[in-house]
Every structure is written in C-alpha cells, then in structure tokens.
Chains A and B, each alone.
Chain A
C-alpha cells in the first residue's frame, strides 16, 4: 500500500510537471509565432521600400531570379533534423562561388541597397524562428501525447 502511495505521488507529480510544461510550451510557442510574424512583416515592408525607392528599370523583381535554365547552385541554408530528439536546426553555408554557393543578393544588384540587405537579414531571422517554432510545436505534441498516455495508467484516476 505504501509503495502504491509513493508511486501514485510520483505519477501525480509527473502529471503536474507535464501540465505545467504544456502551459510553458504554449506560451513559448505563441511568443515565437508572434516574433515570426513581426520579423516577416518588417522584412516584407523593407522589401516593399526597396522596390519603391529603386523603381523603374532596376527594380527588384522576380525577373532577376534564376530560372530553370540558369546555372545550378547549392542551397546556402538547409534544414537539418538532428534526429536525437532535439528537433530541427538551420545549417548555413558560407558563400563560396567556386563550390557553387552563390550569394542570392547579387542577383538583384552588385551593390544592394541598405533596405534590401536589412530585408534579407529579417527573412533569415524568419527561417530561424520557423525552426524554433517547429521544435516547440513538436515538444508540445510530445507532452500532449505523454499526458494522454499517463492518463490511462491505473495510478492516475
């Protein structure tokens, strides 16, 4: 009986911890989503400003993005799943033309305007935030899963 009681105590504490963790994760996830929204919005505004200021013949447009017929290049930024339960992370390569890592900013102009540079850094932040948000969401799903399972144990009634 005493053993059962201590077990029950442990399970209950675990359950409490899981619930608290769930609340924490919800808050953090919301926060990261809000940050993502902000970063994305300011990036879009900066891009719009670039196009506004440098309108006309040399405007930033989709026409400057390489098409299927252009030379191939490697991705500068990859999503890596670490596989050990720590979620995904973003892996960046330094720009190296000889190995096929081209700087995408140079498609638009050799001397990109400041606002375009800032927009790029904002969008880069966005990618990081997406990864962070995904990790949090995965953790949240795990916690929810554990709660479901724990609820079915005979110790918690």
Chain B
C-alpha cells in the first residue's frame, strides 16, 4: 500500500440538509448562481427559477478575506486563553474535522456532490446581500456548522504486481547468491569460478596487452607520418626538422591515446577490484551461470571451458 501525491488540493464541504433547504427557500433572491451549486440543487431535486443566471465557477471571485484584526481583538479580548485548547487547537475548533477523523478508517467512496471554496465565497456574498435586504438573518458559519468537511487526501495505491514479482525474483537471486557463497568451500562442484581459471586470467591480461599495443602502434604510426610522410609531400627537408615533425605528431597522438588508455585501464581495475570491494556486485552473474549450467547442459559451460 503506497500513498500517492494528493491530486486535488481543494477543500470540500458536503452540504447538509439545512444548507439545501436554505438555498431552496432563498432561491428567488439569487441573481447569479455558480455552476456547481446549480448542479447540486438540481441533483437534490430542487429547481431554480428561470431568471437566475448560471455562471462558471472560476468567475466567482475568491480571494482570501481580509480579517478585521482590531475588531477581532476587541471581541476576543475578554476571552481567557485556554491552555489545554491551544495545545491541540485543532480538536475543539471544528466539529467537522473530528467527525472527519473518526470516519477515516472506513473506506470512503468518492463524494461528488460537494461545495468548493468558490461556492462558499459566493454563498458569503449572497448571505451578505440577504442580510442587508433583511430577507434572512443567517450567517455562513451557522449554515456550514452542520456540514461535513472533506479534507484533501492521499490516494492509496496498491503495489504494482509486476514490481512485486520483480522484487521477489531479485530477493531470491540474492539469497541464492548468499547460499552459494556459503557452500562454496563445501561443494566441490561449485569451486571452479571463472576468475580462478588460468584462461580467464590470461584473457584479461590479453585485453590489457592489446590496449597497450594499440597505443604503441598508433604512436609509432604518428611518428612515421611525421618523419616520412611530410617529407614525401613537401619535398626534401633537413633531417633534424623531420625528426622534430615526427616527434610532434607522435606526441599529439600519444596525448590523445593516453586519455583513452587511462580510461580503459581504469575500467579494468574497477572490474578486477570490484569482487574484493563488494562481493555481491559482480560475482553473482558468473555464479548464476554456473548454477544454471549445472542443470541445463554443456553449452553454458563453453565460455569458461576454453
């Protein structure tokens, strides 16, 4: 079970019966209704008057409201601090949240009929207008008291079975490897590792010798070009100058070749060092070959036979 990233960061409110009946009762006073609210009311069986215009959700202005700090300070000045409440401020504040917490254990089906923040903004404005025109005395906080709040949640993803199978396979290989390492000294059949045979060592030495020989050849060829080639092209040159040319060309080639040679030899070193440094890293492949060759016949043995 893995938790994936939250996709939808919006806070959602499940409208309670109280909200819906209120909306229904006041519907003739609405001039503009957001799309979502209109859809919601239709879904619950309430009808909007024909004159109301439906607006897109994003047309509803939704900025963070300005909080009148002076007013707030004045109002809460005589309320004493409640230490045990500030400690876990989340709990007593919104009854919706506590309900939310208790219900989290149950698998929640996707809730579609919800109010979003833009709808709440619209509702605030509407309620403000209604209060001014004295149609009602309701505040937003009274309305949404009975609503359930749905907080953004992580989606729970099942582990991919393919990955699980792969992990299982790798784990088995690892265990196999460890087992063979342990029984290496006991079982004579497993004793011959490719690194132990002379042919393997000669092969790896051969590779290095070839690399060095290549280097020498190309430097020699460079010198020959400088010594003879330029002389043939341009005409008779003094002997000292020819040697100088040859050495310069050979030097340039040697520099370039040195880089590749160093790289290659370094790689060999890594390969040779690797089994000592981290035994599991390189030996497994070869060991596995042996394990398989034991069962599947002679073809697999050929590479190390010669």
* Chain A contacts to B: CB under 8 angstroms: 9-24, 26-27, 30-31, 33-34, 37-38, 56-57, 141, 144-150, 152-153, 155-156
Known A26-B11, A27-B117, A148-B92; further 9 A-B contacts with Cβ < 8 A:
A11-B75, A14-B75, A20-B64, A30-B152, A38-B5, A145-B93, A149-B76, A152-B79, A153-B76
Looking at B120, B127, B141, the one whose CB has the most chain A CB atoms below 10 A away is: B141
Q: Which residues of chain B have C-beta atoms less than 8 A from A56's C-beta? A: 270
| B75 and A148 contacting across the interface, CB-CB below 8 Å | no
Beyond A12-B139, A15-B141, A150-B72, whether A145 also contacts B89 by CB under 8 A is yes
Residue in contact with A26 in the complex, picked from B121, B131, B151, CB distance below 8 Å:
B151
Cα A21 to Cα B11 in complex, Å, equals: 12
Q: Which residues of chain A have C-beta atoms less than 8 A from B124's C-beta? A: 16, 20
Chain B contributes a number of interface residues (CB within 8 A of A) equal to 38
Cα A153 to Cα B75 in complex, Å, equals: 7
| B67 and A14 contacting across the interface, CB-CB below 8 Å | yes
Total A-B pairs, Cβ < 8 A:
100
Q: Which residues of chain A have C-beta atoms less than 8 A from B71's C-beta? A: 10-11, 14
Residue in contact with B75 in the complex, picked from A20, A24, A150, CB distance below 8 Å:
A150
Cα A92 to Cα B124 in complex, Å, equals: 42
Q: Which residues of chain A have C-beta atoms less than 8 A from B120's C-beta? A: 20, 23
| A23 and B11 contacting across the interface, CB-CB below 8 Å | yes
| B10 and A19 contacting across the interface, CB-CB below 8 Å | no
Chosen A-B contacts, 7 in total, with CB atoms closer than 8 Å, are: A15-B140, A16-B65, A24-B64, A27-B117, A33-B6, A148-B92, A149-B79
Q: Which residues of chain B have C-beta atoms less than 8 A from A147's C-beta? A: 93-94
